[in-house]
Amino acid sequence: MALNLVTVRAEEEQTRAELRDVMPARRTDLNSLPPSRTEALPTHATHLGPTPVATHASGRAMNSRIRKHPRSSPQTLLCLGLLGLSAPAWAAAPLGFAPPVNSVTSPGPEAVTVGDFNADGRLDAITANPSDNSLSVLLGNGAGGFAPAPKRVPFNPDTFPNAVITGGFGGANTLDVAYVGTRVLETLNGDGVDGFTSSSQTLILPQGESLRGITSANFNGDTRIDVATLSAQPRVVILLNQGTGAPPQTLFLPLSAPAVDLAAADITGDGHPDLVTVDASGLVTLLGGRGDGAFYPNKTYPSAGGATRVLLADATGDGRKDILVAGNGFVSVLPGNGNGEFGEARTLSTQVNATAFAAADLNLDGFVDVALASSAASGITVLLNPGDGVFGQPTTLPTNHPVSALTTGDFNSDGKPDLIAAQRAGNTVSVFLNTSTALKADARVQLFAGPNLGLLTPYIRYEVRVTNNGPAVMNAATVRSALPAGLSASSSECTASSGTVTCGFGPLAVGATQSRFFTVPLGLLNIGLPYTVTATRVAGEPEDPNAANNQDSRRCTAISILLVSCD
């Protein structure tokens, strides 16, 4: 299919900047934004990816004409459309998945996790099956499938396991499992084959408790991984891992309302894992970890109502973890600043009542995408990320039954994130092997130099020029120019430091060029001494397939203050 590139006028760029300052963040509907004026780009190879109209599993059409540009907010795009202006360009990398590989589990898989349980280098899976009171261990065959007969790990009749996670809970060199049942939170030591040798830590709560969800981290700074879950009380329940056979230590952290999901990671930038929960109203709660088993007072941030799932990932491409919330007809991104503060939720409407949620770079363009699925309708919807967390271009992957759980993993060892979906009604898991091909952009770096003499302070003016030779849009490139010892530089467009000048470029359409400038002053000490400045591409997105043209140099000699020669 042909991708589209929108031509953006300079005055529209100014309008977007003005709108960005005055418009508040609100929910944006994929089907509400007007189409933009476009001009065709070359057609890429055939792939399973966004089509002009993608169809949801329920049969409803989903508009995928939206093209967004990195760093453009949904409210900006909406306002541009209302003003009759064109939206910025976004040519997404093609998304591809092979037909699903289906495997049988024990009855009623409700949750799924992955790991190499038998240490054979191939990814395995475990499902939690509450209707069967069991776990199913599925050993991977390295091609997306699993051994024909999964191993059943039974529990007591009233356990009802509803969530499962892997980790090194037992402290040995095997992969272990933690699971949550209605009143039980337990870690199991893996046997390195296909089962478990013993329980490491067990917490059984009184009648009337209702536990759900699971995450893990080292919350108290020892050498052991702890486990956290949610109670309807409402509170977070943390099982501090004391080691095999030792009495468990439990923490109870109060919440303002019962939460529906939780996640753990260091999002405050202090090196200690934090907890994030979300309740059905969309209220996100941050419990900042102190690193010793204690937590700072709760902070709350609103998102959209009807929330069901929460993830922590860098959706905005700034290297800082954001909070991603999914729910009934929406995905929200709360952009993080790296120290525990989060911006207003950017909410995008979808046609999925999401009860399963996963995040990974699914089209291999360097940005975190999301996958959504519903326990009430079949199919998985993938939303691609242009780099700013404003997801779009929905693509539906078919499943035979509604999806009860969803996660990612590399099941055929090709370095690409695949999807695995548990389907309760079908007693199956389906693996979708990722066939996406990463787009590449060849950035040609050129350096030009010329003297500017006759002034009080003569200088040499350098131009760093980057041209995108394609075949894909170049999202970003960083070029660093190295100066000889004793020389300094100044620039209003680049960052000058001791001995280097670093310039950022992008995005660039195929065939487009951008330039950045810096100056090096000349003094008496420079006279008669030749010196060379070298500009080198040091980073970029997407991958550059041709390193041979990533560097350029210029040699200049100051014969006198008023006579300078540059090669």
SS3 per-residue string spanning 63-124: ECCCCCCCCCCHHHHHHHHHCCCCCCCCCCCCCCECCCEEEECCCCCCEEEEECCCCCCCCE
Does the pLDDT of residue 302 top 80, yes or no?
Answer: yes
Residue 562's pLDDT is what? 65
Residue 69's pLDDT is what? 33
What value does the mean pLDDT take over residues 233-242? 94
For the CA atoms of 40, 46, 51, 57, the dihedral, rounded to the nearest 10 degrees, stands at: -170
Does the pLDDT of residue 498 top 50, yes or no?
Answer: yes
- The whole-angstrom separation of Cα 69 and Cα 16 is 12
Identify the band that residue 101 occupies on the pLDDT scale cut at 50, 70 and 90.
very high
Length of the chain: 567
Please list, in sequence order, all residues whose beta carbon lies within 8 angstroms of the beta carbon of residue 129, skipping any fewer than 6 positions away: 105, 106, 107, 108, 109, 110, 135, 136, 161
Q: Strand, helix or coil at 56?
A: coil
User: 275 has which bridge partners?
Assistant: 264, 287
Give the DSSP H/E element, type plus range, for residue 283. strand 283-287
Identify the band that residue 48 occupies on the pLDDT scale cut at 50, 70 and 90.
very low
Give per-residue pLDDT as tens, 463-479. 999 999 998 889 899 99
Of the candidates 151, 210, 200, which has an alpha carbon nearest to the alpha carbon of residue 178? 200
The pLDDT > 90 percentage for the chain reads: 66
Q: What is the pTM of this model?
A: 0.74
The pLDDT > 70 percentage for the chain reads: 82
Distances (CA, A) of 558 to 488, 496, 522: 15, 22, 8
- The whole-angstrom separation of Cα 222 and Cα 243 is 11
Class of residue 23 by CB neighbours under 10 A (exposed 0-12, middle 13-18, buried 19+): middle
Asked if residue 52 has a cis previous peptide bond (ω within 30° of 0), the answer is no
- The whole-angstrom separation of Cα 368 and Cα 372 is 13
Which tops the pLDDT comparison, 182 or 209? 182
Residue 454's pLDDT is what? 62
- The whole-angstrom separation of Cα 390 and Cα 418 is 22
Is the CB of residue 418 less than 8 Å from the CB of residue 406?
A: no
What value does the mean pLDDT take over residues 379-396? 94
Residue 560's pLDDT is what? 65
CB atoms < 10 A from the CB of 551, how many? 15
Of the candidates 443, 435, 448, 461, which has an alpha carbon nearest to the alpha carbon of residue 513? 443
Q: Which two tokens stand for residue 341?
A: 């503060």
Query: 3-state secondary structure string, 426-493?
Result: CCEEEEECECCCCCEEEEEEEEEEEEECCCCCCEEEEEEEEEEEEECCECEEEEEEECCCCCCCECCC
Q: Average model confidence (pLDDT) for the chain? A: 83
Does the pLDDT of residue 3 top 50, yes or no?
Answer: no
Of the candidates 237, 138, 142, 239, which has an alpha carbon nearest to the alpha carbon of residue 188? 239
Q: Hey, what long-range contacts does 151-160 have (CB within 8 A, 24 or more apart)? A: 151/194, 151/195, 152/106, 153/188, 153/195, 153/196, 155/181, 157/133, 158/133, 158/182, 158/183, 159/133, 159/184, 160/130, 160/133
Please list, in sequence order, all residues whose beta carbon lies within 8 angstroms of the beta carbon of residue 19, skipping any fewer than 6 positions away: 75, 76, 79, 80
Identify the band that residue 89 occupies on the pLDDT scale cut at 50, 70 and 90.
very low
- The whole-angstrom separation of Cα 98 and Cα 437 is 13
Provide the angle, in degrees to the nearest 10, between the axes of the packed helices 74-82 and 10-22. 120
Give the DSSP H/E element, type plus range, for residue 10. helix 10-22
Residue 247's pLDDT is what? 83
- The whole-angstrom separation of Cα 1 and Cα 65 is 13
Distances (CA, A) of 360 to 34, 75, 120, 331, 364: 28, 25, 24, 15, 9
- The whole-angstrom separation of Cα 311 and Cα 52 is 29
Q: Which two tokens stand for residue 185?
A: 């939170």
Identify the band that residue 444 occupies on the pLDDT scale cut at 50, 70 and 90.
very high
Residue 81's pLDDT is what? 31
Is the CB of residue 460 less than 8 Å from the CB of residue 449?
A: yes
Lowest mean pLDDT among 65-69, 286-290, 479-483: 65-69
The domains located in the chain, with CATH, are: 101-432 (2.130.10.10), 443-566 (2.60.40.10)
Lowest mean pLDDT among 88-92, 508-512, 541-545: 88-92
Identify the band that residue 125 occupies on the pLDDT scale cut at 50, 70 and 90.
very high
Identify the band that residue 282 occupies on the pLDDT scale cut at 50, 70 and 90.
very high
Q: What is the DSSP letter of 424?
A: T
Identify the band that residue 116 occupies on the pLDDT scale cut at 50, 70 and 90.
very high
- Chain mean position to CA 451: 46
